Structure 1
């Protein structure tokens, strides 16, 4: 794990919006400072939780640029640079590199893109030429492309391809990726302690937006192989991490972050704020966690 560039917790930070739906950079700065104070040492800007697909290219680039400037070397910076056209991904990656990002996360080709292994290999080979470490993104339920152990073996031969983030939500399949010996990052919130025990190399964690202190503590305990402590912390986190994964993920993260005090406004249209009738369940799942995060 010591040789991996992005170990431990990498926060997929929620992009804050004002009442008019514009990116709220003042709130972004405030939240970044609070996450740093909570112990977060790596940020992913323009993530899925950060509503990458609902940001314009210009907004995403500005978000990454300002985010890196706010962090100012105090933590690592990763940027999502996914796009439909490989030329756009390369351009976004170059701009992220120039803005100060230390790595990029990129979806495989999606929306009727190639699904064969060679097409995916060609795609990531082009992206890697932009000169930043590339984290592939395995989320087959969303894009229709699965990164198998065999494909990961081939991807890892590409200079600059450093890891795959697995958000498939299937622990057995993630364990199979881990057994390849290549770097694997967990992106499925309900699997966190099990993925760490299985040997994943890092986490890209959206739910950490509303529980940074507790998430940092859990990751540190796992790094020290203090599994009883990990279990105790997970008992506090599990109700909310399981609930947000059941549906309306982004809306639930925004709602939970607001309840705990890390508000980012409402998600951008076409998403809406979490339905009022779902808020009581979110609030109940956070009861013990809110006490701990307030410490």
Structure 2
């Protein structure tokens, strides 16, 4: 279940800042049609930091409803308050959720033992599969391989989303965990290299706009056809780079709107829309791929706009 191209889904919003559920339905159908293997709802890219708790829960539940069992949905349930993370996790018990993605506690910078106790307590509060999420650039907190190894012994902690971009981590962790423990890349730019070293998939921002391409890339990698995977990845390199030209999800949300996947690129403060200068840079990156041609064709066939 936790393998291949897994999209870190944006949360579309209307101009007044409310969640745009019509565009969310379009996105869910787009990813199902494109071969995405799972949807991560309410992760970093989904703007979990600026949605209220009831909105967070409703977006996940609506995504499950829209998916109708056609694609696994994974809920972002992390917090820097352990009891809050437990409370949020329990909201999705018995809700047809595939698992939970739990970020390292941000801002309060716990020790490695504190991290272990945090994730252990969350896992023991539920039987839902747990995916650890390590992204020190955003949290100021690094989950080290030795701590991952300790946590991997807990029955329902089944995977790690490693978003450091540090490829040496793959072999370091593999040496310490069982073969059943799943390693996922959380960094599009190094994701293919991560998979060649033994990772099972990519939790992808790029997949928001290049879902079929990322699905095919990961399929090639899983099959061991890294020649085809690298040929495909060449066309996506500029997107991997420039989708982070400003803080995620600012750029990818703008591109989704530009390509007609969502109605507006509305974000909530303190995030603001992509600058005009960077819009031009990303347009050039899009021109280096076949995406503009694909989306033009998709509009004619109503795959994107009316699915």
Shift of 1:75: 0.7
Does 2:218 align with 1:231? no
- SS state of the match for residue 15, structure 1? coil
Alpha-carbon distance between aligned partners in 1 of 2:80 and 2:292, rounded to the nearest angstrom: 43
Report what 2:10 is aligned to. Answer: 14
The match for 2:219 is 220
Are 1:283 and 2:279 matched, yes or no? Answer: no
Q: How many angstroms does 1:47 deviate by?
A: 1.1
Task: State the Cα distance separating 1:179 from its structure 2 match.
Answer: 4.0
More helix by share: 1
In 2: Cα distance, 1:248 partner to 1:119 partner: 28
Identify which of 113, 121, 126 aligns with 1:118.
113
Residue segments in structure 2 that go unaligned for 5+ positions in a row: 298-307
Q: Residues 206 and 7 from structure 1, CA distance in 2 versus in 1: closer, same or farther, beyond 3 angstroms?
A: same
Give the C-alpha shift of residue 98 in structure 1.
3.2
Tell me the secondary structure at the aligned position of residue 184 of structure 1. strand
> CA–CA distance in 2 between the matches of 1:67 and 1:99?
11
Shift of 1:41: 2.7
> 1:237–1:289: 8 Å Cα contact kept in structure 2?
no
CA offsets 1:144-202 (integer angstroms, 9 cap, x no match): 22122211111111221111111112222344234434421100110121111111122
Q: 1:293 to 1:267 in 2, by over 3 A?
A: farther
**1:273 aligned counterpart, secondary structure:** coil
Check the 8 A contact 1:260/1:293 in 2, yes or no.
no
Q: Which residue of 1 aligns with 2:304?
A: none
User: Hey, what does 1:147 align to over in structure 2?
Assistant: 143
Q: 1:291: how far off?
A: 4.2
Report the 3-state secondary structure (helix = DSSP H, G, I; strand = E; otherwise coil) of the residue aligned with 2:243: helix
Preserved contact between residue 26 and residue 261 of structure 2 (Cα < 8 Å): no
**TM-score, scaled relative to structure 2:** 0.89
| C-alpha distance in 2 between matches for 1:209 and 1:239 | 15
SS of the residue 2:268 aligns to? coil
Q: Decide whether the 8 Å contact of 2:3 with 2:37 is kept in 1.
A: no
Residue 165 (structure 2) pairs with residue 135 (structure 1): no
- Does the C-alpha gap of structure 1 residues 164 and 257 become closer, same or farther in structure 2, counting only changes over 3 Å? same
> What is the CA–CA distance in structure 2 between the aligned matches of 1:264 and 1:197, rounded to whole Å?
37
- Equivalent-residue separation in structure 1 for 2:80 and 2:140 (angstroms): 14
Which residue number in structure 1 is paired with residue 300 of structure 2? none
Match of 2:50 in 1: 54
- Unmatched 5+ residue regions in structure 1? none
* Counterpart Cα distance in 2 of 1:202 and 1:46: 19
Q: CA RMSD in A?
A: 1.6
Shift of 1:274: 0.4
Q: Please give the secondary structure, in 2, of the residue aligned with 1:54.
A: coil
Instruction: State the SS of the aligned residue for 2:220.
Output: helix
Contact residue 209 and residue 252 of structure 2 kept, 8 A: yes
Q: Secondary structure at the match of 1:127?
A: helix
Q: Secondary structure at the match of 1:73?
A: coil
How far is 1:268 from its partner?
A: 2.0
Question: Which whole-Å CA distance do the structure 2 matches of 1:103 and 1:31 have between them?
Answer: 20
Match of 2:305 in 1: none
Aligned residues of 2:8 and 2:45 also touching (Cα < 8 A): yes
